Amino acid sequence: MKAYRYQRYDTVPHAPLRLPLSGCRVALVTTAGFYLDEQPPFDETISGGDCSYREIPNTVETQSVAIAHQSRAYDTSDTKLDANLVFPLDRFRELERDGTIGCLNHRHFSFMGSIVKPQRLIDETAPEVARLLKGDGVDAAFLTPV
């Protein structure tokens, strides 16, 4: 990792939370590289990283998601045993049941992590997902970066 050329981005999009969590629609966003069997896996051969995303329905059985991730620095063995480590959907379902959050969105989003050339992600796919979440009426997105 010492040889890795990190990039710095000085602007960080932020929107203050206007509701208590108990009144919020929440979506999960992960960079764990999760996809469903019927979706194409993330392409680990793309130089700089695959900037696409996968929709994960809220109804999914958490342990049924597959993983495609290209980073040698990310050991997926524990994640394969319990996806909640990096995509805590089951934990958020508990938060929904006990009223800590208002409700979960009908879909969540997965990206591949370790994208070392993120310009397409910044310019296209992340804003596209943000528009989809806004259209869904999502008040808060919980990001689990990997």
Max CA distance (Å), the chain: 46
- How confident is the model at residue 33, as a pLDDT? 93
Query: Would residue 65 count as lying in a domain?
Result: yes
- Residue-wise pLDDT for 71-117, tens only, equals 677 777 888 889 999 999 999 999 999 999 999 999 999 999 888 88
Q: Can you tell me the distance from the alpha carbon of 71 to that of 117, in angstroms, rounded to the nearest whole number?
A: 13
Q: Is the pLDDT of residue 7 over 80?
A: no
Amino acid at 25: R
- How confident is the model at residue 3, as a pLDDT? 67
Residue 83 tokens read as: 């996806």
pTM, two decimal places: 0.90
Query: Would residue 94 count as lying in a domain?
Result: yes
Confidence of residue 2 (pLDDT cuts 50, 70, 90): low
β-strand pairing of 107-111 with 53-57: antiparallel
Collapsed DSSP state (helix, strand, coil) of residue 50: coil
Query: Would residue 41 count as lying in a domain?
Result: yes
Q: Is the pLDDT of residue 38 over 70?
A: yes
Query: Would residue 14 count as lying in a domain?
Result: no
Q: What percent of the chain has pLDDT over 70?
A: 92
Q: Is the pLDDT of residue 14 over 80?
A: no
- How confident is the model at residue 1, as a pLDDT? 56
Comparing 110 with 4, the larger pLDDT belongs to: 110
Pair 92, 104: CB distance under 8 Å: yes
Domain region containing 65: 27-144
Counted domains in the chain: 1
- How confident is the model at residue 73, as a pLDDT? 73
